Structure formats: C-alpha cells, structure tokens
Amino acid sequence: MEAAQLWDMVRIHYTGYRPDNTIFESTTSGEPLEFQLGGEVLIQGLEEALFGMKPGETKRVEIPPHLAYGEVDKDLIFPVSRKEVFGSLEVKTGQIIELPNEEVGVLALKVVDIRGDKVFLDGNHELAGQTLTFDVELVEILPDPASHTELPELE
C-alpha cells in the first residue's frame, strides 16, 4: 500500500482541538477534505503529519504554534479612535469587526479592550499562540490524473 507523499491528492478526515480539549473544527460529520499535499491548504504541522501515512491510517498529532497559526504578534494588537473608526456604532469587547483592506479584501479584527475613546483591535488568528491537537485519518490517496493521460500518437 502506498504512503502519502508530496504533491499527492489526498482525502482526509480531521478533528482539531484547542488546548482545553474543545473542538474548533471537524470534518467527520461530512465529506472528507480533498487537497494536494504541499499546496499549503492546511497548517504546516498538520500537512507534515500526513506524509508517510497510508490510507485507513489514523493518528493524533500535537502541533506547536509556529507550525499552526503562529505566535501571537503583539504588533497586530493596536488602538484606534472609537469615534473616528466606529462613529456612533456600539462596540463591545469580543466583537469581530470586518474592515476593508486593499491587500486581502477584508480584515477580521477582534475587539479585545475598550478604554475611553480607544478601542484595541487584535488582528491575530483566533488560534495564534496555541498548541493544537488533531485526530487525523488519511481516507485515501487519489490517483494522479496526469499518469492516466493518453499521449497523442506520433505520425
């Protein structure tokens, strides 16, 4: 039986857990996730865990922040003027604010603190700085469509 390697198209099921063991994402109640290994679809640590797995194999992996969503970047936590940015809109701690951005389209920022006219926004991923655990199953390695392409006959 073949083991998963770079550029293979694979189908997996996974369940991701926060450090407190709560589930933040799972594919087990739906269709498996299909993607190409090496295509940077998944976080690095989860993708690396799949290399060498065989179809039907399962494993539990612990992924440190630098191989998941990164460490918390303090530069991504910053104050803005409540009046200038939000005007008369009500803002609450914990609220997710979506702001237009030329580079990425929309930035999702979390309100982490409010002090007077200053609203502190956090642009880090919600799972940044956390060691995550995943249960992962390699459901199948899909055939390479390039290997089944018929070549035209030469004249």
**Tens digits of residue pLDDT in 4-61:** 999 999 999 999 999 999 999 999 999 999 999 999 999 999 999 999 999 999 999 9
Confidence (pTM):
0.81
2 forms beta bridges with none
67 forms beta bridges with none
CATH of the domain at 98: 2.40.10.330
How far apart (Å, rounded) are the C-alpha atoms in residues 130 and 68? 8
Report yes or no on 152 lying in a domain: no
Report yes or no on 153 lying in a domain: no
Segment 121-133 mean pLDDT: 96
Same domain, 16 and 66: yes
Please give the single-letter amino acid code of residue 138.
L
Please give the single-letter amino acid code of residue 117.
D
Q: What is the dihedral of CA 52, 23, 45, 138, to 10 degrees?
A: 20
Three-class secondary structure of residue 17 per DSSP: strand
Same domain, 86 and 63: no
The two structure tokens encoding residue 65? 């922040």
